[in-house]
Amino acid sequence: MKTTAKTVSLILAAVLCACTFVACGESVPANSVFSIDDLPGKTIGVQENTTGDIFASDYEAEGSTIERYSKGPDAVQALKQGKVDCVIIDNEPAKAFVEGNDDLTILEEPFTVEEYAIAISKDQPELLEAVNGALQTLIDDGTLGNIIDGYISGTDYKYESTATEHPNGQLVMATEASFPPYEYYENSAITGIDADVAQAICDMLGYELVIEDMDFNAIITAVQSGKADIGMAGITITEDRLENVNFTTPYTTATQVIIVRAK
């Protein structure tokens, strides 16, 4: 079955609907965040150690409280339950969270723009060069754009691996699989943009792709320590991360947005 943006939305809607109820007698407060200017003094939900966390932290000096969650859906559930005033998160997952939940909406004003790249150990410069070369080929021949459009725009394209041999062994990808459409579970398997891009790279370089799901804040450590060869989970290049790992050429641009309650 072809995975579409609608399928992703239904998956996330089901997850969130399981946790929409607040304790008996409690009520969810009305929305109080209508623009970025309203963030000072508010309680902001983020996924810990993400770009949203990094930029939201600047508002702590202006009286805001930052509530950090290990997974994006947990932050959104907290918003639905009235525990936070808004959530700052990447645009594509935000759209999946909001679709099918009429009590949530995304502010039109973008919070910030960022680029995603693949994290690789500083001890593997040859792998960095090889992955960058494969990425450039995928960009030049249109495969990368087709993969992204297949998930985000709902086109008919779906990357299918035809590799039957893996002369270079396994390549382990560390991810956090609750970040649709980049990585999420479907039929007990991890799929999404990052999974398909990693598979295409492995097909070109002669690797068998192995995907390991873990907390987002463990990914850089896993790559740095050699427990994983690459990290892909909508990871943005930051100065702090560059102290621990190398990054490939960016493979897509993303926008951080603000999710709020619709009423």
pLDDT in tens, 117-173: 999 999 999 999 999 999 999 999 999 999 999 999 989 999 999 999 999 999 999
Per DSSP, the residues of 150-215 read: HHHT--S----------TT-EEEEEE-SEETTTEEEETTEEESHHHHHHHHHHHHHT-EEEEEE--
Tell me the pTM: 0.82
The DSSP secondary-structure symbol of 236 reads B
Residue 128's contacts (CB-CB under 8 Å, 6 or more residues apart) are 120, 246, 248
Which H helix or E strand runs over 247?
A: strand 245-247
CB 172 within 8 A of CB 201: no
Strand partners, 191: 184
- Percent of the chain predicted with pLDDT > 90: 86
For the chain, the structural domain boundaries read: 5-113, 115-254
What is the band of 27 on the pLDDT scale with cuts at 50, 70, 90?
confident
CB atoms within 10 A of CB 100: 16
pLDDT of 88 > 50? The answer is yes
Longest dimension (CA), the chain: 62
Structural fold of domain 115-254:
D-Maltodextrin-Binding Protein; domain 2 (3.40.190)
Selected from 3.30.1330.10, 3.40.190.10, 3.40.50.620, 3.30.465.10, the CATH number assigned to the domain covering 5-113 reads 3.40.190.10
Cβ burial, residue 58 (10 Å; 0-12/13-18/19+): exposed
Torsion sign, CA atoms 92, 93, 99, 103? negative
User: Which of 192, 245, 251 is closest to 218 using CA atoms?
Assistant: 245
pLDDT of 19 > 60? The answer is no
CB 39 within 8 A of CB 31: no
Tens of pLDDT, residues 161-217: 999 999 999 999 999 999 999 999 999 999 999 999 999 999 999 999 999 999 999
Q: What is the pLDDT of residue 18?
A: 44
pLDDT of 87 > 60? The answer is yes
CA distance 97 to 84: 16
Per DSSP, the residues of 12-47 read: HHHHHHTT-PPPTT--PPPP---SGGG-TTSEEEEE
